[in-house]
Amino acid sequence: PVQVARFRAERPGLTDVSFFADIPTARLLRNTDVVQTKLETGLFVSDPGRRLLIAARDSETVRLRQLDAVSHRSWHRTFAPGEYLYRVEARQHASGNRARGLSAVNVPLFAEGQFALSDLLVARRIAPRQAGAKPRSRDDLFIVPNGAMSFSRNDTIFVYYETYGLTPDSTGQARAKVELTLRVDQIQRSDRVQAVLGSVLDRVGLTAEGDDR
């Protein structure tokens, strides 16, 4: 799973794009007796004609501490507006297993003076880097993104976005109202009986599945 977040860049005419991936380390080490190994990951971005524009590779030693462990990777690049294709790959040496996530991404232009919202960045944690200081940009925040954008029960969901092009009033203040809606796409049930009964109740509209909150 890969989360992509797009923001206005400091240089006019460009857009900052961040790629956040949750590499399924535990699945890559399945059926091995290895608890520590080297993990290779890479981000590859091409244009619609498949011409490679970015190839960023790295490797590090990871240690498996839990059965559902993932390794977090992030890449930050600046793009001209347009259509791109990205691919995130991972390879684990001990097992030879691989993982891949790929998709197309549209990079918009956040023009100066034009009202717009950035992408919604979904994170496991967001906090000021310096206690007591008022953050003025993303660089002033400690952000732990959630590449899979999935959470367990009782987890706290952190969200971050930026607003551009607000027009100030006579007092120099600019205001905007943003509505955030959560939709229950799917209810995961571990028990087989609950899953069968729950799917029936989902179809007749007696559960929260499909609801906006």
SS3 of 128-144: the string is ECCCCCCCCCHHHEEEE
Any idea what the Cα angle at residue 38 is, between residues 76 and 18, rounded to 5°? Answer: 10
**pLDDT number for residue 82:** 96
Give the pLDDT band of residue 25 (cuts 50, 70, 90). confident
Averaged pLDDT, 156-171:
92
Residues forming a β-bridge with 101: 88
| Cβ-contact 73, 91 below 8 angstroms | no
Model pTM score: 0.81
Averaged pLDDT, 37-61:
91
Q: What are phi and psi of 156, to 5 degrees?
A: -95, 130
Report the 10 Å Cβ neighbour count for 149: 16
Q: Tokens at residue 104, please?
A: 């197309």
**pLDDT number for residue 206:** 62
Mean of the per-residue pLDDT values for the chain? 86
Give the Cα separation of 89 and 54 in Å (integer).
13
**pLDDT number for residue 56:** 95
Instruction: Classify residue 67 by its DSSP letter.
Output: T
pLDDT tens, residue by residue, 51-109: 999 999 998 877 766 555 788 899 999 999 999 999 999 988 777 888 999 999 999 99
Report the 10 Å Cβ neighbour count for 17: 21
**pLDDT number for residue 123:** 95
**pLDDT number for residue 210:** 72
CA distance readout (Å), 148 to 22, 181, 198 = 6, 19, 24
Give the pLDDT band of residue 39 (cuts 50, 70, 90). confident
**pLDDT number for residue 30:** 72
Give the Cα separation of 81 and 65 in Å (integer).
41
Give the Cα separation of 83 and 106 in Å (integer).
5
